[in-house]
Amino acid sequence: MTATALDIAQALLRCPSVTPADAGALGVLEALLTDAGFAVHRVTFSEPGTADIDNLYARIGTTTPHLCFAGHTDVVPPGEDSAWSHGAFSGDVADGLLYGRGAVDMKGGIACAVAATLDYLAANGGNPKGSISFLITGDEEDVAVNGTVKLLQWAAERGETFDHCIVGEPSNVETIGDTIKIGRRGSQSGVLIVDGQQGHVAYPHRASNPVPDIAALITALNDEPLDAGSAQFQPSNLEFTSVDVGNPATNVIPAQARAKFNIRFNDHHTQETLRALVEQRLAAACGNRIRARIDWLPSNADVFVTKPGAFTDLVSASIADATGRTPEFNTGGGTSDARFIAKYCPVVEFGLVGQTMHQIDERTPVSDLDKLTAIYRGVLERYFK
Ligand SMILES: [Zn+2]
């Protein structure tokens, strides 16, 4: 009798692994996977100025195809503990609902992947017809510098290669089976800086006011769409988030104005082409008169997409089998660690329902754990056919 997803999820939820603490969470997985015959590695990464972080990589099998389950065992802080109807780290079940920080994001998802894998191995003589691995970090929710990026590099240096990866983030919007995330938009932030010339408001001809100029540039950049969307993505969006002059006086024309913005961009662009496009539009809007430039902030959030095909069909068919639903392929929302994995192999995100993630009383129906386990089990069955 192998451990159920609920057993594993409860064991994980009872570890208060608020980033950067591990609190025993990876040890729960290490014990289960070692027992099942996985070669398990615990790897600690460091970086000056950040906490050391524990990570886990486990693999069974030495041949291809190689399917990887990826995720994180760290969680965001619970907030006011007394506000929870069941303790944030209790792992309590009430009325068919499992409570705890990380129930859906994403200890529950990891528990289902492990339970499905153990069940699959037990039914197949203990070995996959290929390889199954778990790539689990303790550093996703905070700064994420000692997590997936370094773990992928570490694995690559050891000669590990992956054919496909499933990240068990809570991809579903309302009901389990409604959404697979097959990509994410890229993210790029910048600061628009307009230089004028400081002066007395009574003598504007001796000054150059950057305030109306930055207003005009914001309007120009805001009004022209970056694109009309693509097959898998909504249109890219440039959003101004702050305009800053920092001028305490009403009788002084300021020397400079700044505006912060963020762009969520689709697969029509790379960071480089996107920056070039925005700078070209800025130059056109400035003409010969306005002096403006953009300071681009560093970004590690590139756009990625796993185009619909054999792998997404296989996941989709497993979902339909277990839930009767045909999932939508979606690329909306924020970024996730899948963006790093996409540099190594095709990746999709499919897990529990995200509604209560990062909230007080984060919870999942126990029946969703059973469904997700059945879905992952179906994926394994089809993948290693
Ligand atoms: Zn997450």
Task: Please compute the mean of the pLDDT values over residues 294-302 and round it to a whole number.
Answer: 93
Could you tell me the two tokens for 41?
């590695």
CA–centroid distance, 105 to ligand 1, in Å, is 5
pLDDT tens for 317-347 read: 999 999 999 999 999 888 889 999 999 999 9
* Cβ-contact 60, 121 below 8 angstroms: yes
202-254 pLDDT, tens digit per residue, is 999 999 999 999 999 999 999 999 999 999 999 999 999 999 999 999 999 99
pLDDT (0 to 100) of residue 134: 98
Quote the pLDDT of residue 117: 98
Give the sheet arrangement for strand 363-365, strand by strand: 93-94, 97-99, 363-365
Q: How far is the CA of 63 from the centre of ligand 1 (A)?
A: 30
- pTM here is 0.90
345 Cα–ligand 1 center, Å: 20
CA distance linking residue 28 with residue 15, whole number of Å: 9
The model's confidence at residue 1, banded by pLDDT at 50, 70 and 90, is: low
Provide the pLDDT for residue 143. Answer: 80
Catalytic residues: 74, 140
pLDDT band at 263 (very low <50, low <70, confident <90, very high): very high
Nearest alpha-carbon partner for 226 in 211, 241, 237, 242: 237
**Residue 98: pLDDT over 90:** yes
Q: Which residues of 188-198 are buried (b: 16+ CB within 10 A; e: fewer)?
A: bbbebbbebee
The rounded Å distance from CA 375 to ligand 1 centre is: 19
Residue 350: per-residue pLDDT = 98
Q: What percent of the chain has pLDDT over 90?
A: 95
For residue 314, pLDDT beyond 60 = yes
- What's the gap in Å between 169 CA and the centre of ligand 1? 5
Tell me how far the alpha carbon of residue 336 lies from the centroid of ligand 1, in angstroms.
7
Average of per-residue pLDDT across 79-108 = 97
